[in-house]
Amino acid sequence: MELLKKRILDEGKALSENVLKVDSFLNHGVDAKLMYEIGTEFKNYFEKHNVTKIFTIESSGIAPTVMTAMQMELPMVTLKKQSSKILNGEVYQTTVHSFTKSLDYQLTLSKKYISEDDNILIIDDFLANGEAALGAIRLVEEAGAKVAGIGIVIEKSFQPGRKLLEDKGYDIYSLARIKKLGKDLIEFI
């Protein structure tokens, strides 16, 4: 997606060979018009996948997921990164390791938001090592539902996430695929 790539080049900051900061338009400040265009791209790609619901992981994936859900006229569900005392065990949970933050967290899905008949589209802001996506997949499949595909806003293609997910048979659609990062260097595939 050329508009997204331009924003990454104009406003993104490569802090190292693994860290890309895009907080001015994706995950702190949010450019609603850009998110709408991102939603359009995901809708156009996934509209023939018989999606019944769209899932994301809190919090940076929420904006592009909302726009996609609106355009596809589908329900959206946010997977929580911590347990809730009010869910009373009516949840699916899995442990996910965040390499960015160097910690483990419990990814949580309330059982009332998924059924065996669902065909879930998972959308996330970044794909690097694939841990977050795999955690979401585990929750969907534990519920007996299917994964229709995975939409990624920005993929760090030099990390193993895409290959890991593709080797397991998942359809991955990334809007911006980064080949290389370095201090003040951003190269796309």
Question: How confident is the model at residue 188, as a pLDDT?
Answer: 98
**Mean pLDDT, the chain, integer:** 94
Take residue 132 and report the two structure tokens written for it. 């977050």
CATH number (domain holding residue 82):
3.40.50.2020
Query: Are the CB atoms for 34 and 6 separated by under 8 Å?
Result: no
Split into its structural domains, the chain has a count of 1
Is 60 within 8 Å of 125 (Cβ atoms)? Answer: yes
Annotated binding-site positions for xanthine: 20, 27, 156
> Which segments are annotated as binding site for 5-phospho-alpha-D-ribose 1-diphosphate?
128-132
Which residues does the annotation place in the binding site?
Answer: 20, 27, 128-132, 156
- Which residue range is the domain that position 107 belongs to? 2-188
Percent share of the chain, pLDDT over 70:
97
Predicted confidence (pLDDT) per residue in 137-165, tens digit: 999 999 999 999 999 999 999 999 999 99
Strands 185-188 and 172-182, by their bridges, are antiparallel
Predicted structure pTM score: 0.95
What are 68-111's pLDDT values in tens digits?
Answer: 999 999 999 999 987 666 666 799 999 998 877 778 889 999 99
